[in-house]
Structure 1
Amino acid sequence: MITVNIAFCVKNLAKGSEKVRKKLITDPDFNVAEYGCTSFCGLCRNYYVAIVNGKPVKADSPDELLDNIYNYVDEELFDGI
């Protein structure tokens, strides 16, 4: 089983991705964390962003971010299993 680690920048959480984090922490398949900075400041400033197993996943809205995270996990992480 692949461990899915999802990280959020606290500034991006304050911007609106907190809604996404709250949904994801209820899913036992995800390890969700928040950091002061995820080192993706350019993306984080302009988009809603989560770092999924080290890769930034971005979106224009929190709802789109949640969809993009699930799509990334399904297509990129679990496709090869």
Structure 2
Amino acid sequence: MRPIIEFCTNNMHHGTAEVMKKLEQSPDYDVVEYGCLGNCGECYLFPYALVNGETVAGETAEQLMERIMEKIKELEEMDRVLGDG
């Protein structure tokens, strides 16, 4: 299953626009941008995204990218173990 990575437009001031652009270049992910994801507290404090509905955050946009990739690997492993991949 292709991971769905969701970004909040209001979070772009943390540098997440660059992360989103990088991820959009891969055909392996579905990247979606919303006006609001309803996580205003997190959105205000740090860069974050949702990966298959789970919040992934970092102190910087670069760290967010690393954590998104870690989460995707975790999901891929889970799919392999469960035989869904």
TM-score (norm. length: structure 2): 0.87
* Aligned residue runs from structure 1 range 1-81, under 5 A: 2-75=1-74, 77-80=75-78, 81=80
Task: Provide the aligned length of Structure 1 versus Structure 2.
Answer: 79
Unaligned runs of 5+ in 1: none
The structure whose residues are more often strand, as a share, is: 1
Runs of 4+ in structure 1 over 4 Å off: none
What displacement does 1:24 show? Answer: 0.2
Give the secondary-structure state (helix, strand or coil) at the position aligned to 2:15. Answer: helix
The unaligned stretches of length 5 or more in structure 2 are: 81-85
Task: State how far apart, in whole Å, the 1-side matches of 2:40 and 2:19 are.
Answer: 19
**Larger-Rg structure:** 2
Root mean square deviation of aligned Cα: 0.9
Q: CA deviation at 1:20?
A: 0.2
Alpha-carbon contact 2:49-2:55 (below 8 Å) kept: yes
| Greater fraction of residues in helix | 2
1:15 is displaced (CA, Å) by 3.0
